[in-house]
Amino acid sequence: MATESPAQPPPAPLAAPKPRGSAAREFFSRWGLWCLLIALPVVYAVKDLAGGHGLARLAQNVVEGVSNGSIWALIAVGYTLVYGIIELINFANGEVFMIGSFTSAALIGTLGLTLTTGPLGLVAGLLVILVLAMAASGSLNVMIEKVGYRPLRNAPKLAPLITAVGFSFILQNVGLLWLGGSPASVPDLIHAQQDVFTIFGVTVQRADILAVGVTVPLVVGAVLFISRSRLGKAMRATAQDPDAARLMGINVDTTISLTFLLGGMLAGAAGLIYALYETTIWYFQGFQAGLIAFTAAVMGGIGNLKGAVLGGLIIGIIQQISDNRIGPQWTPAIVFAFLVLIMVFRPQGLLGEETREAG
Amino acid sequence: MTTAAATTERGRPAGSRGSLLPPWFGRFAAVALGIVAILLPLFFDPLSGFIDDCVIALAYVVMALGLNVVVGFAGLLDLGYVAFFAIGAFTVGWFASSFYADANIHILVSGQAEKLPGIHINFLLILIIAAALCAVAGILIGLPTLRLRGDYIAIVTLAFGEIIHVFAVNGDAIKVFGNGYPLTNGRQGISPVDQIKLPFITQFNQLNLRPWYWLILGIVFFVLFIVIRLRDSRLGRAWVAIREDEVAAASMGVPLVKTKLFAYASGAAIGGMSGAFLAAYLNTVNADQFAFSFSIFVLAMVILGGMGSVWGVVLGAVLLSFINNRLIPDVLNGVPGKLHLDFQLSDLGFGIFGFLLVFVMIMRPEGLLPERRHQLELHEDVEVEDVLWEEEHR
């Protein structure tokens, strides 16, 4: 056949295997990341079951992961909001979170909350601190935007990213001067380690309740604000097309500031939760948390609010499993390995919102 | 004739930098600077702190020149450059120390190193090995970033830098080739490492810093030569094309994958050489050296000097290195104390660099000695003709 008509174009034999390959590729790009994420828990579940233990340990990991991850989720929402609107990785977001923690710790001292404070006073005091920490972090974030990013709005993309890194360093140094180079302890006001209830061998502690209890209303509030309010509509419009939004009479600068305010406030809230949850704070926490939360935001699909929350929870679980099973010293490497793998195989993230940069 | 006609036709803007200096000035200044640099240590005590600072500064110049290839020429923001410092340094730790005491390999070494157990390889070979290892690592780190752009590249490279840092810190638990061969020595560090021994020169030691100075100066000249030749080559133009507009470059036939990987590999190789030298000079390979802040330190040199500008980067590296090693800890350290402030200036180390990054980016994004084409991109008031004129007459 082939010798008879060499000039004939060879469509049939080459085209045949093609659909199979592309189907596999499609499958991988759609589900590959999910498979990757499920791999770690599944491996340990099989190991536990084979070893004759129940799944209680894994479930415990997951519960702690969710509560830990809700802190990352709050920070990740800040990354995702800012990225969605000006396509900039606000590198300083992690440090804004750190400043939130430091402010909370200082305010705990100022308000005189101690281990002996009654429950009513404690709740009221912590609410005041929450509001103040959110305000401090939010306005800090707005200031960073005004000084560092706004003058560079039309500059090449690398320029604002470099100022973001610069601000991150400046804030780390502020933290270093504030509380010194070693971790400082925060009074364990809520008795974070105290068990609340146990179900199927899984213990839920006060810290878990606090983390989830503060995160859920805040995230729901943020989502409602963005989807329902007038200003939220302006934010979405600006994210879609800043020029068109400006032509429609939206004050783009104010809207961007508002986005930074919102992101900073959530980071500040995360700061307070972190301080109560871990009961130690230090200047370097923001850098680590920032990278973890950024990974979470990318995992969920940057620019996608629900994705950021989902990513935060997943990263929290991965982290707990790795802390508990592999060793905490390896956790950062594992989280970053996930980040690289996501970037390689599915840069648009789990919930797949195509962005101009990562497409 | 045609150029002369073109000159009169376009005219030269009065404020242009090139117009004030004759065309041979640049080359003359470079040669003069080189001679001054070679003779410099003769005017100082061989043990003086100044020479020590100079050696470190020159090693940073090499680092910054390497990072400049990636960030400045090709426009790929690499926030994990410390990875190549680490790999270069570990090349010395693995192959030029008594760390692997079970092995007994000696290649082209003499004197004390010949008698010690462990793997001992001549420093010139180490430099080549370090450059090769780093080039491979640079390609491996570059591969996942090929499809990505802008800030995503920054994050992926940062992640790699951090992964390597984690491995450096915890590597004492990884024993791939058996029990006597851990990957690293963790925070304890691998120390001491071999002193450098080169043909015709006596053994390097810590009592006479001049040989160290001349060696690193030699490396600087070598790297400068390579970097300038690369910049003016076809490859260098391809890098600039990718930096300015990736889509346009690709449609003009620039092979993106090859060009980008070349940038990563050559930048990494240069960083690896500097890392190997620093490890030998500091006489230790310690995991704590390889933190993220080092990447930013080198990046700040490139930014301050001017992204893409070779001489700017040299200036930036020398300046920042002296600010970091002399001005902050020695000269100005007591100033806050005199103002009755309760801290020392050296506590502000990386805050100052962060401030510098912000300040330079906002006030003078093209750096101290800007590359002309970059300036064009960053300032709308620079005339295109002005730049074209300079390109023609370089």
pLDDT at A355: 46
pLDDT at residue A35, as a whole number? 79
DSSP state of B342: S
Cα-based angle A331, A336, A337 (whole degrees, multiple of 5) = 95
Strand partners, B208: B205
By CB atoms closer than 10 A (0-12, 13-18, 19+), residue B22 is exposed
Alpha-carbon distance of B256 to B252, in angstroms, equals 11
Say what the pLDDT of residue A4 is. Answer: 42
pLDDT in tens, B59-110: 999 999 999 999 999 989 898 999 999 999 999 988 888 888 777 777 777 7
Grade residue B383 by pLDDT with cuts at 50, 70 and 90.
Answer: low
Residues of B in contact with A151 (CB under 8 A): 362
Regions of chain A short of the pLDDT cut 50: 1-18, 354-359
Give the contacts of A117 (CB within 8 A, at least 6 positions apart). A125, A189
Separation between Cα atoms, residue A227 and residue A176, nearest integer Å: 39
Q: Pick the residue from chain B with its C-alpha nearest to A157.
A: B150
* pLDDT, tens only, B273-319: 999 999 999 888 888 888 888 998 899 899 888 888 999 999 999 99
- Domain boundaries of chain B, sorted by first residue: 54-290, 292-394
Contact (CB, 8 A) for B51 and B210: yes
Task: Provide the pLDDT for residue A348.
Answer: 78
The residue of chain B nearest to residue A175, with distances taken between CA atoms, is B351
Residue B161 CA to residue A336 CA, distance in Å, equals: 10
- Whether residue A313 contacts residue A66, with contact meaning beta carbons closer than 8 Å, is answered with yes
ipTM: 0.80
How many Cα atoms sit within 13 Å of A39 on the Cβ side?
A: 9
Q: Among A163, A177, A291, whose Cβ lies nearest the Cβ of B361?
A: A163
pLDDT (0 to 100) of residue B13: 43
pLDDT score of B149 more than 90: no
Distances (CA, A) of B108 to A158, B196, B199, B273: 46, 12, 10, 19
Q: Which of A145, A157, A158 to mutate to test the interface with B (most CBs of B within 10 A)?
A: A158
pLDDT confidence band for B272 (50 / 70 / 90): very high
> How many C-beta neighbours within 10 Å does residue B264 have?
27
pLDDT (0 to 100) of residue A6: 42
Alpha helices, DSSP H only, in chain B?
2-10, 17-20, 25-39, 49-68, 82-95, 112-115, 123-142, 150-170, 210-231, 234-244, 246-251, 256-282, 292-305, 310-322, 335-338, 349-363, 372-378, 384-392
CA-based nearest distance B262→chain A, Å: 19
**Both tokens assigned to B236:** 């260098």
Residue B251: per-residue pLDDT:
93
Q: How many residues does chain B have?
A: 394
Q: Do A158 and B77 touch (CB under 8 A)?
A: yes
A&B contacts, CB < 8 Å: 136
Q: Closest Cα to residue A162, out of B75, B276, B169, B12?
A: B75
Cβ proximity of A358 and A346 under 8 Å: no
Question: Is B354–A168 a contact, with Cβ atoms under 8 angstroms apart?
Answer: yes
- Taking an 8 Å cut-off on Cβ atoms, the answer to whether B160 and A161 are in contact is no
A chain contacts of residue B303, beta-carbon cutoff 8 Å = 162
Q: What is the DSSP letter of B71?
A: I
Average pLDDT over residues B366-388: 67
CB B158 within 8 A of CB B80: yes
Given an 8 Å threshold on Cβ–Cβ distance, is A158 in contact with B150?
Answer: yes
Question: pLDDT digit string (tens) for B216-246?
Answer: 999 999 999 999 999 999 999 999 999 888 8
Amino acid, res. A297: A
Please enumerate residues of A whose Cβ is less than 8 A from a Cβ of B. Answer: 88-89, 147-148, 151-152, 155-163, 165-174, 176-177, 287, 291, 294, 298, 329-330, 332-333, 336-337, 339-340, 343-344, 347, 357-358
What does the alpha-carbon distance between residue B22 and residue B315 come to, in Å, rounded to a whole number?
22
The crossing angle, in degrees rounded to 10, of helices A158-179 and A93-111 is 30
Question: Do the Cβ atoms of B63 and B274 come closer than 8 Å?
Answer: yes
B77, B163, B292, B297: which to substitute to probe chain A, counting the most A Cβ within 10 Å?
A: B163
Q: How far is CA B14 from the centre of its chain?
A: 35
Cα distance from A147 to chain B (closest Cα, Å)? 9
Residue in A closest to B75 by C-alpha:
A158
Across the interface, whether the CB atoms of B358 and A147 are under 8 A apart is answered yes
* Residue at token pair 């502000």: B348
